[in-house]
Amino acid sequence: MLVTDTRSSVQILPAEEDWPVPKYYGACGRVAVEEFAGNMLTAHHHSPWLSRADMARQLLIAAKQFTVRHPYFRFYLTDVSPDNIAVDSSGRLRFVDLENVIIVDKNISNDGKPSSWNTLHSSENFDCPGCFAFSTHELCTHQISDHNLYAVCQHLLAPDISSDLLPGGLLHDIPLHIVKSHPHLPDLLKECSQPDKLADRFIAAQQLLTCWSPLVKMGVNFKVFKKCSPNGKITVYLGKRDFIDHITGIEPIGEYILLF
């Protein structure tokens, strides 16, 4: 089944049940009211790398949720453009445009099962830069597909994506110390994007999640402030806002993520 209405999708997958979608308030005619979910993913293309790694982690978790979490249906995303994904001020990521979602019944009767039903469907990479190619028929005639992982890895995370919205992919310019401590990370990204064997996308995605979970916990947000004394001396303070509230006359300079 192909759903072409965002309202239907966010009602089936309510934000109140922790689905990565904005809260739906209601509709009047063709006008729907949803929660503002933050700036588009494209606005974070040059955010600190660990922040982007956390967004990538959330993208993979969402891809898995849409595929396996619902007890009755699988939801396959057909438009994963980065300007359809929002990140709020706390770093929480949500899919704000769920038009043209393919919904597959997980529990069809034996009489209605196609011959291919019990085989894993793996999305193919076509020699078509920037193309998001998929077959609705193939998705609907298999009990499960890696389509959502393909969509996220190939069209949002991979370094060779051709989209002008996220040149180099969301995880571009991996810091050298991350590459040294996790030398398998680039290979896992490639395996999730262009797997060598059937089921490798699921394996690579899980390994990426295992890799990223401790990584994103390494980063702690700190703000940098400066204070100018009457004699012209500038003192720089580094800490969380509540840590230096007792200091008067400070001026914020910027925000960084420190690694420990």
Cα–Cα distance, 171 to 46 (Å, whole number):
10
1 pLDDT tier (thresholds 50, 70, 90): low
Contacts (Cβ under 8 Å, ≥6 apart) of 78: 100, 101, 102, 132, 134
Least confident interval from 70-74, 205-209, 239-243, 247-251? 239-243
63-84 average pLDDT score: 94
Q: Is the pLDDT of residue 254 over 50?
A: no
- Domains present along the chain, CATH in parentheses: 2-209 (1.10.510), 220-259 (no CATH)
Check the CA dihedral 94-97-102-103 and report its sign: positive
Cα–Cα distance, 260 to 257 (Å, whole number):
10
Q: Is the pLDDT of residue 255 over 70?
A: no
- Which residues face 26 on adjacent strands? 33
Helix (H, G, I), strand (E, B) or coil at 112: helix
pTM for this structure?
Answer: 0.81
The CA R_g of the chain, rounded to the nearest whole Å, is 21
What Cα–Cα distance (Å) separates residue 110 from each residue in 67, 106, 117, 138, 144?
A: 21, 12, 10, 18, 16
pLDDT tens for each residue of 97-132: 888 899 999 989 888 899 999 999 999 876 666 678
Q: Is the pLDDT of residue 136 over 50?
A: yes
